Each structure stands twice: as C-alpha cells, then as structure tokens.
Structure 1
Amino acid sequence: MTLFDRAKKVIPGGVNSPVRAFGSVHMDPIFFNKAKGCHLYSTDGKEYIDYICSWGPMILGHGREDLVKKAQGYLDEVLTLGLPSDVEVTMAETFTRATKTDMVRMVNSGTEATMSAIRLARGYTGRNKIIKFEGCYHGHSDGLLVKSGSGTLTYYAPTSLGVPQGTIQDTIVCRYNDLADVREKFDQFKDQIACIIIEPIAGNMGVVIPDKEFLQGLRRLCDDNKALLIFDEVITGFRTRYGSVGDYFDVKADLYTYGKIIGGGLPVGAFAGSREIMEKLSPLGGVYQAGTLSGNPLAMKIGLDTLKVLEAHPEIYEKLDRFAYELDQGFSKNLSDLGIPGKVTRFHSMLSLFFGEFDQIKSFDDVQKADTELYAKYFQGMVKEGFIMAPAQFEAIFLSDAHTEDIIEKTIQANRRVLEDICK
C-alpha cells in the first residue's frame, strides 16, 4: 500500500489542502519529509529543486542555519502561552513600521486575517456589502467563496457546497482590472458597500498584474463613497519588497492582510491599518475578533527573525528580482524558439508560465484561455527533470534566497528540454 493509499483512508482526498492533490496535473501527490535550502527530498529518496517555497513564505530558503539554531533555542523557552508576551509587542512594532500602519492584530492564517478585516470594515462603516474580484482568492470563509456568472454580478453563486445563499448575498464580484465595472456597482449599491478587498497583485489565478490606474481608481472610488480599501497581501507582503506592494503603485489601503512570510514558515496571519479603524476591535470597540493561539511566541520569534534578515539585507530582493527576470527571459525565449504558444507573467520575484494564445493577461477571463492540459504535461516533465513547480496552471512560481545562478540556468535548460519533448 502506497503512502497516498494510506492517506486516502484517513484524510479526505489524501491531502489536508486541495492544491496538494496534484489532480489538475494528473498525478498522485508526491510526499516529502525533508527540505534544505532550495531542495526538497521525497519520502522515496528523490531530490527536487523547489519553486513552491511552501507557497511563498520560505523566501530565505528551507533550514537556514542561523535561523534554525535560534528556533531550536526558542523550543526550550516557550511554545505557546495564551497570554500576552513581550515578543508580540516587538513584532507589532517591527511590522507596523515596515508596513506604515498604526496598529496590527495577529491571527493564525490568511483566511482568518481577511475574514476579520472584512468584519472590521463592516463594523467601522455600518454597511454590509463588499466587493471582491473574480479570480482573487481570499481564503475559504463562506462570504468570500463566490463567483459571478458570465463576468456579471446579476447572479450570485457559491463556489462551494455548504455556503448558504444568505451568506453570500452581500458579496459583489467584479472584473479584475475593470474600473468601470466597479464604478457601476457603487452606483447600483449606493451607500451600501463597506469595502473593496483585492489582491494588489493577483497570485491565485496565476500572476496577473493590475494597471496602476486601476488600483488608484479603486482608491478614489472608496474615498468618494466612504468605503474602505483592503489590500490582501497574504502572498505579496514582504515577498516583493520589505513591506507593502502598494508602494509600487502609490496607493495606500485602509486595511492590509498579511501571512506567509511574517511567520517564517509557521502558520500565522495579520491584519493592520490606521489607529482610528483598528481601535474598533474588541476589547476597545464593538467588533469582536479573537484567537487563543494568535501571536503565539514561537511563530512571533521565528517570524521576527525572518523580517530582521529581510530588513537588513535589501540585496535579497534585488537578487530574487534578477533571478525571476532571468527565468522570465529564458522561458519566453524557449517558447518562442519552439513555436509553443504561451506567455510568462511576472511581478518582481513572482511569475507564472501560461500555455495558450493570449492577446493579454489582465483578468480572470484571460487566464481561462490557458491550456491546462499542456501545463499538466509540462509539470510532469519538470518533475522528471527534478523540479517541483506549482501543481496547477493558476499558481505562482516562487523563488528563495537559497536559489543560485547555476540553479536558475539549469531550470531554463530543463524547461527547454521538457518543452521540446511535449511538442513532438
């Protein structure tokens, strides 16, 4: 009996998160038991280069020796308290300084962060409706598991069983990069919209980059309609720069949600904003939010160590940007040379490889044109070459400080071999 067979007997689908199932790439999942640097080691003894990086947080690589040594010492001190600790305060000071916010509340996951930020926005504005965008994922809380029919908002449909119609009736879905669509919804639901929540760089339909004018327009619409703007930076926060990605676009949100990197690889999330808004939270205000393990000292200490390294070494971001650019150029050249239709999208150190014919990739409708079957063949080929990419077309490639120039070149060469093989 394989490990996957055993898993399926006791875990739904054999995995604890659907993206790990490898279903869209027509493979059984690969199980791993060790990681070091940018290398993963499977339970059957094979070694792979990691381009998932635990879906983003391992920006410094796996098992960085100085951080591991510190973490081992923390185990002797405390795991969790359920009570206030000094490191929570230090983390909050470091975090708010980096993100240019006034206050932060730590939670245990990105889902918790986005769910709580939306509740806070509703409590602050006294309104119920929210706007999200097709193709943007903000966790699996009921009110956010919604899609729009045919790109419109007339028909509401939950994207999961178990989500009551009443729960999603206040969720409005708009088209990414379509400011006119958002403006229309504000006119349609005047004085009813509490907030807009958006991934400022979409990472959950593959990497899709917004127009600067789009994000700036969202800011103006929120200001004009007294709604809040929430940037979901669970993926992008501290990934593309130290702090918020909003600085690239000269746009400041009212609330931000974070995760991934700020826990240094441990489960963590956060939402942050101005003092005026954040003081609406319990125990100061009437918006209730709680978590027994929120801000637990182990995650705070390991996350704080990660942020300290990133703050002290901005050259890490320069290196990751350079490597991602090299992958972008190498993959694009391979596609062109071999006559394979496809496109690489990239924002700093996040990138995606789409297969198919595209005029542009600006929205969910655009990415739906992708050839997922060709991607599945590509993924399988890269696995045989010893590389673990995202096991789905609509995810991002992540790099770490542990990747090297030599590995980047080997990746481009492997990419070409696999493309040559699948287009025979």
Structure 2
Amino acid sequence: MNTTKSESIYSEAVQYIPGGVNSPVRAFKSVGLNPIFVDHAKGSRLYDVDGNEYIDYICSWGPLMLGHSNEEVLSGVEDIIRRGTSYGVPTEIEVKMAKLICQAYDSIEMVRMVNSGTEATMSALRVARAYTKRNKILKFEGCYHGHSDALLVKSGSGTITYGVPTSPGVPADVVKDTLVCRYNDLDSVKQIFEEHGQDIAAVIVEPVAGNMGVVAGKKEFLQGLRDITNEYKSVLIFDEVITGFRLAYGGAGEHYGIKADMTCLGKIIGAGLPVGAYGGKKEIMDMVSPVGPVYQAGTLSGNPLAMYMGYKNISILKDNQNIYKELEEKAIRLENGLKENLKKLNIEGTVNRAGSLVCLFFANGPIENYEDVMKCDVEKFNIYFKELIERGILLAPTQFEAMFLSNAHTNEDIDYTIKSSYEAMKIAFNK
C-alpha cells in the first residue's frame, strides 16, 4: 500500500497542528502508524490522497448511516450555501429541525441546538445543576462525554471514588463534585446515592458506551438509574451523541423503553456537519436563557447548512425505518462472521454488538465495563489493524472504538471484511 503523499502531508501537518491532527484518535498513534489523509468518500468507500480504497467502518464516527455523500441528503444543499451559511439570526429550518427531534424522542419536549457533543453535555449538566440547585454529578468509568473539564475524570482503584483529573490543565477543584461509578454496576450507584444523593444534580450515562469499544448498558442497570434518580429527584441524562437516531429512530429511549429527563445529541443531526443538541422536559429546558437564568449561547448554533443536512438525513430515516432492520441484519452478519473467525482460530476474543454498532475485543468476555475492556490484548489489535488496512479495511485506529455500519455497506463488503479479518487474526496471533 503506497502512502507517500499521506506521509508528505503529515510531515508538514506536524509543523503547524499539534500531532498533525485536529483530534487525537486521528493520529493513528495508538496503532503505531501515521495517519492516512482522505481525498474523498462515496457510499461505503473512502479514498485517500494516494489513491488507496478502503471499506470504511469509521463513517465519521457514526452519523453516516446512509453512507458517504448520499445523493438524497446532498440534494439541494448547493442552494442553501448560495443563500448563506450563517446569519446570527433565526431561520425556519432550525424550527423544523427542533420539531422533528421532539416528535422522534418522547423524552424531548424542547431542544436547544449547539455545535458539538461536548457543548451539548456541558450545557445539559449546567442546566441540571441550576434546575436541582445541586452541584454534584455522577458519571461512569469508561463513558466519554466530551472534553469539558468537569467530565475529564476516571475512577480510582476502588469501585466508587471522587473524580481525579485525567488531563493536565484540569484543576482538581473543577472535578471535586464529579463522582464516578462502575458501568453496569447498579449496587455502586445505590451506595453512592446513599451517601451523596441529596447533593447529586444529575446522572449522565451513555446508554450504550461507544468510547470503550461497544458496551451496552443492561436494561436493569438503566432502569435502575431511572428509579434511583426519580427517588432522589436528580436529573437523568442520556448521552446519545453516538446512539442518537442510530440505535433506533427514537434512540436509546425507544430501544430500552426508558425515558430520560434530558438527552444529548450530536453528529447525526447534522449528517456529519458540526452540530449538537440537548433537550428534555419543558420545565427543565425553561431554565435556559432567554426564558430562564442559565446562560448558554453560540453564534453558529443551528446554522442553516447543518440544520438542512440533518433535517434531510433524519427525514429519510423517519420515512424509511426499514433501514434500521437492514442495518441490524448487516451488523449481525458481521458479528457472526467475526465470532466464527475467533472460533476457527481458537483465539480469545469477544464480539459485542448493539444495533448497528459492533466491536471485536481481544479478550475473553463478557465485556460489560471499563475493567473488562482493559483486559484486551492491545498489541495484538495493533497488528490486526495494520493487516486490515493493508487489505483495504478501515477501522477506528484503536481497540476501544466501535465499528459503524452504514446502509451503503453491502453483504459483499461485509463478507470481504470477515475474510480479511480471518487473515489478519492469523497473522496477529501467529496461527
């Protein structure tokens, strides 16, 4: 595989951009490679500047459920661009988009557009604190909610602990009110609420964790969170930046039959353009300025280009919900193929799947929380990744991310991926 042009661009990029990339995982550093640089993409395929072709399972980290450069989504976008990309005053498409989201999600009565998932979670927590007049928040180890200071924490050696900053530049005082529990461990949540329940403003959780691979929340765990937050009058926040409109048209709330107080969205509601949103019960959202006292603003929030693209994307999903069935069937085909490869080669591994999200862990299962994920053989994954990219299969360059399927992936794509996976596993494990 020729990467001459990508290497040349990268050597220049590191002179002007930290690490040569604008988001750490793009650096391919964890798999011991330099990044490829993309030229264009179409359907299930991505093409780099050197002319290499890949079956893409990153799909912009999830929003491209219809594949790259979908003609129906793109139709009419040129007219929007000619009219103007940003005004700083309201447009009708923002209202149409908000209405569509509220109709899709039982848990969202009002919604505020922002520009990223990080903004969405940060703002939702601010509103929850104001609404409850409490300061503490509870999150779960291995769940990523963006890079705002109060959420860049992990747990210590015990099951339950106060947060410790995981990034320099985050003062300890900023995370002193952030509590951390083990994912899928309801007993740890009950214990911490017994001690701090009257001070906990909100519990924020990924219903399906997508940043430690794919680890689905158990129904009884998520229902338990709903029950506990109801009992203590804390706000339950579902972070659906990854699962929103992907796990089901109504998101994780529809999938699990659990109604959160607030929901955070991103990625897919802009069809891959920079976007985010947070919403929930009207009485909570009425805390947001200019109606209420909680200040949150953004010049580019609800910009017409992202709103138009997102509206088209979600409208297609609304009118063609058989897409969800087709995506799940493809994901099951991939899941079963990967499991069969592990079995044939007698390799220790686990395949987790939630809807159209799939992850292969090189560790014995079950994989249900961050501690389980940390048992993975990362060195073997790195070899596996390199062998797959040589065969034209592009995964996220880390063991700890999901494979995202799109409706543009064909059964032939998946079968080739399974075949290539078998070959890559053989080499990684010297079979």
Give the deviation of 1:265 after TM superposition. 1.1
1:295 aligned to 293, 302, 307, which one? 302
Contact 1:207 1:346 in 2 (8 A): yes
The 2-side partners of 1:418 and 1:357 are apart by 19
Q: Which residue of 2 aligns with 1:70?
A: 76
Contact 2:77 2:309 in 1 (8 A): yes
1:200 and 2:207 equivalent?
Answer: yes
Partner SS state of residue 208, structure 2: coil
2:409 aligned to 403, 410, 418, which one? 403
2:266 aligned to 256, 259, 266, which one? 259
Q: Which residue of 1 aligns with 2:331?
A: 324
Q: Which residue of 2 aligns with 1:216?
A: 223
Q: Which residue of 1 aligns with 2:244?
A: 237
* 1:112-127 alignment runs, 5 A limit: 112-127=119-134
Q: Which residue of 1 aligns with 2:427?
A: 421
- 1:152-199: per-residue Cα shift (whole Å, max 9, x none)? 334531000000111000000000011110111111113100000000
Q: TM-score, normalised by structure 2?
A: 0.97
Q: Which residue of 2 aligns with 1:143?
A: 150
The 1-side partners of 2:56 and 2:93 are apart by 31
Contact 1:334 1:416 in 2 (8 A): yes
- 1:49-97: per-residue Cα shift (whole Å, max 9, x none)? 1000000011111111232232122111221111011111111111100
Q: Which residue of 1 aligns with 2:344?
A: 337
1:387 and 2:393 equivalent?
Answer: yes
Contact 1:193 1:227 in 2 (8 A): yes
The 1-side partners of 2:419 and 2:243 are apart by 28
Whichever residue aligns with residue 251 of structure 1, its letter is: I
1:38 and 2:44 equivalent?
Answer: yes
Contact 1:151 1:175 in 2 (8 A): no
Contact 2:162 2:178 in 1 (8 A): no
Q: Which residue of 2 aligns with 1:79?
A: 85
The 2-side partners of 1:234 and 1:10 are apart by 30
- 1:201-220: per-residue Cα shift (whole Å, max 9, x none)? 11110100121111111011
Range moving further from structure 2, 69-78 or 105-114: 69-78
1:350 aligned to 340, 351, 357, which one? 357
2:33 aligned to 17, 27, 36, which one? 27
* 1:43-192 alignment runs, 5 A limit: 43-100=49-106, 101-192=108-199
Give the total of aligned pairs. Answer: 423
The 2-side partners of 1:178 and 1:209 are apart by 12
Contact 1:260 1:268 in 2 (8 A): yes
Q: Mind listing any 5+ residue stretches in structure 1 that lack a counterpart?
A: none
The 2-side partners of 1:422 and 1:129 are apart by 45
Contact 2:381 2:428 in 1 (8 A): no
The 2-side partners of 1:286 and 1:394 are apart by 39
The 2-side partners of 1:146 and 1:420 are apart by 37
Partner SS state of residue 215, structure 2: coil
Give the deviation of 1:356 after TM superposition. 2.1
Q: Which residue of 2 aligns with 1:376?
A: 382
In angstroms, what is the RMSD of aligned CA positions? Answer: 1.0
1:309 aligned to 303, 316, 323, which one? 316
1:274 and 2:281 equivalent?
Answer: yes
Contact 1:124 1:277 in 2 (8 A): yes
Whichever residue aligns with residue 15 of structure 2, its letter is: K
- 1:353-389: per-residue Cα shift (whole Å, max 9, x none)? 000233x111100000001111101100000000101
The 2-side partners of 1:66 and 1:74 are apart by 15
- 1:235-275: per-residue Cα shift (whole Å, max 9, x none)? 00001211221222221100000001000110000001011
Whichever residue aligns with residue 9 of structure 2, its letter is: L
Whichever residue aligns with residue 425 of structure 2, its letter is: L
The 2-side partners of 1:344 and 1:72 are apart by 41
The 1-side partners of 2:279 and 2:156 are apart by 32
1:4 and 2:4 equivalent?
Answer: no
Q: TM-score, normalised by structure 1?
A: 0.98
Whichever residue aligns with residue 415 of structure 2, its letter is: E
Contact 2:161 2:181 in 1 (8 A): no
Percent identical residues? 53
Partner SS state of residue 49, structure 1: strand
Give the deviation of 1:423 after TM superposition. 2.4
Range moving further from structure 2, 118-127 or 55-64: 55-64
Give the deviation of 1:405 after TM superposition. 1.2
Partner SS state of residue 324, structure 2: helix
The 2-side partners of 1:294 and 1:210 are apart by 31
Contact 2:359 2:403 in 1 (8 A): yes
